Structure 1
Amino acid sequence: MTQGPVRLDVTVNYAMPRKGLPAATSFRKWVAAALAGRIREADLAIRLVDSKEGRALNRHYRGRDYATNVLSFPADLPEGLPEGVRLPLLGDLVICPPVVAREAREQKKALNDHYAHLTVHGVLHLLGWDHEDEREAECMEQLEREILAGLGIADPYRE
């Protein structure tokens, strides 16, 4: 585990009206919590999009024709940084507030808590975590629980 403060540059882009959406400072706090003790320096961007853009991105990059809650685009993908370039660029997150709001209502979760969870979840994907099989999913979910507990947020996987 990495010790000491993290130098963090998080850019938040609101590609839709900001009313009712978390402030950029909230996203920065959630990202910092996800990265604490894991890396020393990181640059990433978060873009909040409407359902139309979220659906288009999910269709283009994942082949799934619906808007999803969060998409993660790590900078180390083959089409990411040129070979040999070493920057603290972690990647990009795309969050779709209409999906996040719907899920929070359906799951009876506090909206800000759900945003925090999805931000942490997306950042862990940028760090290389995944949930493609049951063991990976259990490990990633436990890490999410621990990070969120540190933020005073209840277990998002509790029924």
Structure 2
Amino acid sequence: MRRFAWIVLAFPVIELIGLVLLAGRIGGLATLLWLVASALVGMWILRNQRLGLLLTAWGALNQGGQMSLYQMLWPLRFLLAGVLLIFPGVISDIIALILLLPLRGPQLGAGQSAPGEGPRAANDSVIEGEFSRVDDPKKRLPGQD
């Protein structure tokens, strides 16, 4: 628990050091513009996240109430990224951008079978039909010998 407290206390100091280094590298005005732009983007994400959460819940209801853990946590990633973008600092912005990357979660339920069933085929698109073997040379297609 003490380590977590130290990390929480050290994070703003590390962010401040990062901002000072960034200002020394690109200039104070550019750093200020970066902070204002990231805060505006963070507020925009938080404002539009309500709609995303409602659409996700609506989609789950249309699918019969089945919602994977990844689908439930996706809006929380956006929420955390928006808060981190509002928080002034370079490291928090980098973490927020990583959270906003469109990474795919694990395929929960893919290829799994219910208890009592055999294993599923990997390709569910099966075309059923009948066939017959033709050995009569008159019925063969031209070019087949």
Query: TM (normalized to structure 2)?
Result: 0.25
| More helix per residue | 2
| More strand per residue | 1
Query: TM (normalized to structure 1)?
Result: 0.23
